[in-house]
Chains A and B, each alone.
Chain A
Amino acid sequence: MAKVKIATDWLAGCAGCHMSLLDIDERIVKLSELVEFTSSPITDLKHPPKEGVTVGILEGAICNTHNIEVAKQMRERCDILIAVGDCATFGGVPAMRNLVGTDAALKRAYIDTESTVDGIIPDSDELGKPLDLVVGVDKVVKVDLFIPGCPPRADAFYYALTELLAGRTPVVLPPELFTYD
Chain B
Amino acid sequence: MATVNITINDRKITTQAGITVLQAARQEGIDIPTLCEHPALSTVGACRICIVDIKGQRNLQTSCTFPVSDGLEIQTESPPVIRARKLVLDLLFSERNHFCPYCEMSGSCELQELGYRYGIDHWAFPTYTKGFPIDATNKYYLMEHNRCVLCQRCVRACDELVANHTLGLGQRGSETMVHADANISLGESTCISCGTCTQVCPTGALFYKRSSFMGRDSLTQRIKSTCGQCSIGCGMEIVTRGGNVLQIRGDWDAPVNHGLLCKMGRFEPLYDGRERVAEPLLRDNEKLEPVSWKKAFDVMVKQIGSAKANQTGVLASSYATNEALYLISKLFSDKLKVSNIGLLNGVAPQIFKKQQSTFAEITKSDIILVVSANPAKDQPVASFMIKHALDKGARLLIVDDKENELAPFAYMCMGTGDIDKAIEIAGRAANPIVLYGSEITKNSAKAIKKLEKQAQFIIIESGVNTRAAKAFGFNGGFSPAGIKLLYILQGEQNCDGKDLLKKVPADAFKIVQSSFLSELTAKADLVLPVAIWSERTGSLTNTEGCIQKLNSAVQPAGQAKSDWEVLRMLAEKIDKKIVFSPEAVLAGLKKLLK
A-side residues, CB < 8 A to B, are 83, 86, 89-93, 95-96, 98-100, 133, 135-136, 138-139, 143, 146-148, 150, 171-173, 175, 178-181
Which residues of B in the span 115-129 have a Cβ within 8 Å of any Cβ on A? 115-117, 119, 121-123, 126-127, 129
> Chain B residues with Cβ under 8 A from A135's Cβ?
126
Docked-complex contact B121 and A148, CB < 8 angstroms? yes
Docked-complex contact A181 and B129, CB < 8 angstroms? no
Docked-complex contact B129 and A133, CB < 8 angstroms? yes
Name the segment of B100-108, B192-200, B307-315, B501-509 touching the other chain: B100-108
> Chain A residues with Cβ under 8 A from B106's Cβ?
180-181
Secondary structure dominating the interface of B = loop
Report how far A7 CA is from B122 CA in the complex, Å.
Answer: 22
Report how far A147 CA is from B119 CA in the complex, Å.
Answer: 10
> Chain B residues with Cβ under 8 A from A148's Cβ?
121-122
Cβ of B131 under 8 Å from chain A? yes
Asked if A180 meets B100 with Cβ closer than 8 Å, knowing A139-B126, A143-B122, the reply is yes
- Residue B101 contacts which of A93, A173, A178 (CB distance < 8 angstroms)? A93
Docked-complex contact B129 and A90, CB < 8 angstroms? no
Docked-complex contact A181 and B122, CB < 8 angstroms? no
Cβ of B580 under 8 Å from chain A? no
Given contacts A83-B122, A89-B122, A99-B129, 15 further A-B contacts (CB under 8 A): A89-B121, A90-B122, A90-B123, A95-B127, A98-B127, A100-B131, A135-B126, A136-B123, A146-B122, A150-B101, A172-B119, A178-B116, A178-B121, A180-B106, A181-B107
Cβ of B329 under 8 Å from chain A? no
> Which of A96, A133, A181 has most chain B Cβ within 10 Å?
A181
> Which of B99, B107, B121, B123 has most chain A Cβ within 10 Å?
B121
Report how far A175 CA is from B119 CA in the complex, Å.
Answer: 9
> Chain B residues with Cβ under 8 A from A150's Cβ?
100-101
User: Separation in Å of the B120 CB from the closest CB of chain A?
Assistant: 9
- Residue A99 contacts which of B100, B117, B121, B131 (CB distance < 8 angstroms)? B131
User: Separation in Å of the B167 CB from the closest CB of chain A?
Assistant: 24
Which residues of B in the span 74-124 have a Cβ within 8 Å of any Cβ on A? 97, 99-102, 106-107, 112, 115-117, 119, 121-123
Closest to A175 in B: B116
User: Separation in Å of the B111 CB from the closest CB of chain A?
Assistant: 10
Report how far A20 CA is from B332 CA in the complex, Å.
Answer: 68
Report how far A99 CA is from B144 CA in the complex, Å.
Answer: 14
User: Separation in Å of the B121 CB from the closest CB of chain A?
Assistant: 4
- Residue A90 contacts which of B99, B117, B146 (CB distance < 8 angstroms)? B99
Report how far A111 CA is from B116 CA in the complex, Å.
Answer: 40
Docked-complex contact B123 and A147, CB < 8 angstroms? no
B-side residues, CB < 8 A to A, are 97, 99-102, 106-107, 112, 115-117, 119, 121-123, 126-127, 129, 131, 146
Q: Mind listing 18 A-B residue pairs with CB under 8 Å?
A: A89-B121, A90-B99, A91-B123, A92-B101, A95-B99, A95-B127, A98-B129, A99-B129, A100-B131, A136-B123, A139-B126, A150-B100, A150-B101, A175-B116, A175-B117, A179-B116, A180-B101, A180-B112
Closest to A179 in B: B116
> Chain A residues with Cβ under 8 A from B126's Cβ?
135, 139
User: Separation in Å of the A108 CB from the closest CB of chain B?
Assistant: 14
Report how far A166 CA is from B122 CA in the complex, Å.
Answer: 25
> Chain B residues with Cβ under 8 A from A138's Cβ?
122
Report how far A91 CA is from B116 CA in the complex, Å.
Answer: 18
User: Separation in Å of the A136 CB from the closest CB of chain B?
Assistant: 6
- Residue A136 contacts which of B119, B122, B129, B131 (CB distance < 8 angstroms)? B122
User: Separation in Å of the B125 CB from the closest CB of chain A?
Assistant: 10
Report how far A93 CA is from B119 CA in the complex, Å.
Answer: 21
Report how far A91 CA is from B122 CA in the complex, Å.
Answer: 9
> Chain A residues with Cβ under 8 A from B121's Cβ?
89, 146-148, 172-173, 178
Closest to B116 in A: A178
User: Separation in Å of the A125 CB from the closest CB of chain B?
Assistant: 28
> Chain A residues with Cβ under 8 A from B101's Cβ?
86, 92-93, 150, 180-181
Report how far A181 CA is from B123 CA in the complex, Å.
Answer: 16
User: Separation in Å of the B147 CB from the closest CB of chain A?
Assistant: 12
User: Separation in Å of the A11 CB from the closest CB of chain B?
Assistant: 15
Closest to A96 in B: B102
> Chain A residues with Cβ under 8 A from B107's Cβ?
181
Closest to A99 in B: B131
> Chain A residues with Cβ under 8 A from B112's Cβ?
180
- Residue A86 contacts which of B97, B99, B116 (CB distance < 8 angstroms)? B99
Report how far A100 CA is from B127 CA in the complex, Å.
Answer: 14
> Chain A residues with Cβ under 8 A from B100's Cβ?
86, 150, 180-181
Docked-complex contact A171 and B99, CB < 8 angstroms? no
Docked-complex contact B119 and A178, CB < 8 angstroms? yes
Asked if A171 meets B116 with Cβ closer than 8 Å, knowing A100-B131, A180-B106, the reply is no
Report how far A90 CA is from B116 CA in the complex, Å.
Answer: 14
Report how far A181 CA is from B109 CA in the complex, Å.
Answer: 12
Closest to A135 in B: B126
Closest to B129 in A: A98
> Chain B residues with Cβ under 8 A from A93's Cβ?
101-102
Report how far A159 CA is from B449 CA in the complex, Å.
Answer: 77
> Chain A residues with Cβ under 8 A from B131's Cβ?
99-100
Closest to A98 in B: B129
Closest to B124 in A: A138
> Chain B residues with Cβ under 8 A from A178's Cβ?
116, 119, 121
> Which of B107, B122, B146 has most chain A Cβ within 10 Å?
B122
User: Separation in Å of the A5 CB from the closest CB of chain B?
Assistant: 24
> Chain A residues with Cβ under 8 A from B115's Cβ?
180
Report how far A139 CA is from B106 CA in the complex, Å.
Answer: 25
> Chain B residues with Cβ under 8 A from A89's Cβ?
121-122
Q: Which 10 residue pairs across A and B have the least CB separation, nearest first? A: A172-B119, A180-B100, A146-B121, A98-B129, A99-B131, A89-B122, A181-B101, A150-B101, A146-B122, A181-B100
Closest to B106 in A: A181
Report how far A71 CA is from B100 CA in the complex, Å.
Answer: 24
